[in-house]
Amino acid sequence: MLINCDYVDRSRKWPNISIKVLLAVLTIGVLLWLENQAAQHSATQGPAPSVLIVSLEFRHNTFSGNGIYAISQAEGLAAQGIHVLVVCARPVVEDIAEISPFIDVIKEGLSEIALPVPMSKWGSLGMESAWEDFADAMSSVNLPQFGFVPDAILGVDWHGVGASVALVNTHNEAALGGVPIIYMSYRVFSRSGGSSAAETEFYATMERRGAQRVALTVALSQSDAAASPLERVSPASCIHRCVTRCSQWRGVAAMDAGTAAF
């Protein structure tokens, strides 16, 4: 199953069944691992596991399936007792430099930090979107100051992964250097193509770069996992192998990349 804006009618709400099925596909591996972590923490009376989701689109002026799925995935993880913090973008017309980031508590177990990006670039997830502004804004986020250090980082698509890397490389390297980044591939942009060969190549480059920087890529299907540029990532044989490897990642400096296709 592929989230492809070419066949999504954005004027109508997506069927609930589609959301439930796709969310199950996207989150089952992460949930299995995190539930295991939660059980271990509970046994030792330690804190519940936590996850950082980095998604360009989330609750603010949601315009596509990416935002809908990011919201549902965040709420689903929080419902499992996982502490979830979402770093997302928020389109604004005022001077971005005058806006400081802060944590907004959405509900128990779910919070967000919404970073301002230009309204003029909103409404797209492609190369003309606010992906660079979003990555640049990560320099204003100091997670240790907010008292949040996740067990895993979920980057939604190539712009989410790029922003995740930028986040780690700014103020947070000491705290987040051993935290695995997981590429949540909602859509293979290079597969659906762009309006030109140059745009398609741009997506291929960004997706390939993202896949090479993460510990795990979660694809929606075997065909997505095999699609260029994700073919450069060694495929995992099954979800259980991915979960087993996940449990060993925290604090490991050198990690082999793997792709989980459900």
Residue-wise pLDDT tens digits, 225-248:
777 566 544 443 333 333 334 434
* Type of residue at 193: G
Q: Which residues pair with 184 in a beta bridge?
A: 156, 218
Of 112-126, 136-150, 200-214, 222-236, the least confident:
222-236
Q: What share of the chain is helix, strand, coil (3-state, %, to 5)?
A: 45, 20, 35
Query: pLDDT digits over 113-136, tens only?
Result: 999 999 999 999 999 999 999 999
**Alpha-carbon span 77 to 187, nearest angstrom:** 20
Looking at the predicted structure, is the pLDDT value of residue 5 above 60?
no
Strand order in the sheet with 181-184: 103-107, 110-118, 83-92, 50-55, 152-156, 181-184, 216-219, 258-261
Burial 109-127 (b: 16+ CB within 10 A, else e): bbbbbbbbbeeebbeebeb
- Whole-model pTM: value is 0.75
Query: pLDDT digits over 72-110, tens only?
Result: 989 988 988 889 999 999 999 877 766 777 888 888 899
**Alpha-carbon span 74 to 156, nearest angstrom:** 11
**Alpha-carbon span 225 to 55, nearest angstrom:** 20
Contact 56, 90 (CB under 8 A): no
Residue-level pLDDT at 35: 58
Contact 76, 109 (CB under 8 A): no
Query: pLDDT digits over 163-172, tens only?
Result: 999 998 886 6
* Type of residue at 166: A
Contact 89, 62 (CB under 8 A): no
Reported as type and span, the H/E element at residue 201 is helix 197-213
**Alpha-carbon span 198 to 139, nearest angstrom:** 29
Q: Phi, psi at residue 214, to the nearest 5°?
A: -110, 165
Beta-carbon count within 10 A of 5 CB: 16
